[in-house]
Amino acid sequence: MVRRKMISSLELEDAQFQPASLDLRLGAKAYRVRASFLPGANYSVQDRFNALKSVDDEISLDGKGAVLERGCVYVIPLLEHLKLPDSISAIANPKSSTGRLDIFTRLITDKSDVFDRVARGYEGPLYAEVSPRSFSVRVRKGSKLNQIRFRRLASSQLTGSDFALKERELHERHAKTPLVDGDDLELRQNGLVLRVGLATEPADGIIGYKAQKHADILDVERTDYNIADYWVEVRARRDKRLILDPDEFYILASRERLQIPPDLAAEMVPIDPAMGEFRVHYAGFFDPGFGAGTNNRPSARAVLEVRSYEVPFFLEDGQVIGRLVYEKMAEAPQLLYGATSVSNYQGQGLKLSKHFRVA
């Protein structure tokens, strides 16, 4: 796609290319806006945010970058542009590290009324809406907060919207290459059921982390921060339960270990609102090869980025917290997740973002 000019930018970096996605980079300027918005079918992003910003709200991200304040909303033009044919559309997610820092990030395109979706045949610039929720963060030109995936459709699929593998095929896959540890494959609505793990397994008894309210600024390019300066440890209770405080941000992990086959990618879909008033993830995308362990066994837990809303919410060990939906790749990638230097979360258990050093 790069060679064919479907994706264009100055000096694309090798590290941007992931097995099933492309990392997107922030441009040289950010704009603080009064509110989140979508341009709508008849307007460009530039048209809309001109009405929501002033000259004083333009922020340079060159050099040492700039601080994006917690609780504020920013629109940032990205370095990449698209020129897609009519057979290709795209979908975006925050990167895993972005979600684990509670940086709410969404892709916006011109003449669109939805976030994180790029219409077939789109030609034009890309923008990121960025709103840090727990920590104020320092970013700079070239910082990578979100990623984009592309879907190529046959003529018979141009009106299709459901790309998920069906339950029968998932059972067949699991019989050949286990998708999850254990013999039973629990499926619901063409997705693999994930349950939260609140029982103590590690020796230290830590089953999660809760973000501190008034931590220092966090630079997204640094990887040597002390965990205790930003997070409060959540330890297992005898009753294997946890009450989520309203509007607090938690890092938890799934009870299951999983792996993604080489020719599949997967996405954790939001929990059904009828099952609880909380959000289970911001960055729920899994590349081919994620979690592949020795002897063909699943090795990695899904990290859950959890926020309760209006009221305290009660969780117990093994409670259903989300679904993993699988899609077929056009072909297996040349390099799987775990085979590159930027595979930061291969074989993970409960794990914070790459920005924090492990003692």
Instruction: Give 52-109 pLDDT, tens digit per residue.
Output: 766 568 899 999 999 999 999 999 999 999 999 999 999 999 999 999 999 999 999 9
| Mean pLDDT (whole number) for 230-236 | 96
Locate 354 and state its tokens: 């790459």
**Residue 256: is its pLDDT beyond 70?**
yes
For 89-98, 199-208, 221-230, which range has the lowest pLDDT when averaged over its residues?
199-208
Entry pTM: 0.92
Q: What pLDDT sits at residue 215? A: 96
Q: What pLDDT sits at residue 296? A: 83
Q: What pLDDT sits at residue 349? A: 87
- Percentage of the chain with pLDDT > 90? 69
Sign of CA dihedral 244, 250, 255, 259: positive
Q: What pLDDT sits at residue 341? A: 66
Q: What pLDDT sits at residue 302? A: 92
Name the segment(s) of the chain with CATH classification 2.70.40.10. Answer: 7-157, 167-328
**Residue 273: is its pLDDT beyond 60?**
no
Return phi, psi of residue 137, to 5°: -130, 145
Q: What pLDDT sits at residue 162? A: 67
Residue 303 pLDDT class (50, 70, 90 cuts): very high
Pairing mode of beta strands 278-279, 191-195: unpaired
The third-level CATH classification (topology) of the domain covering 167-328 is Deoxyuridine 5'-Triphosphate Nucleotidohydrolase; Chain A (2.70.40)
What is the CATH number assigned to the segment(s) 7-157?
2.70.40.10
Q: What pLDDT sits at residue 170? A: 94
Average pLDDT in the chain: 89
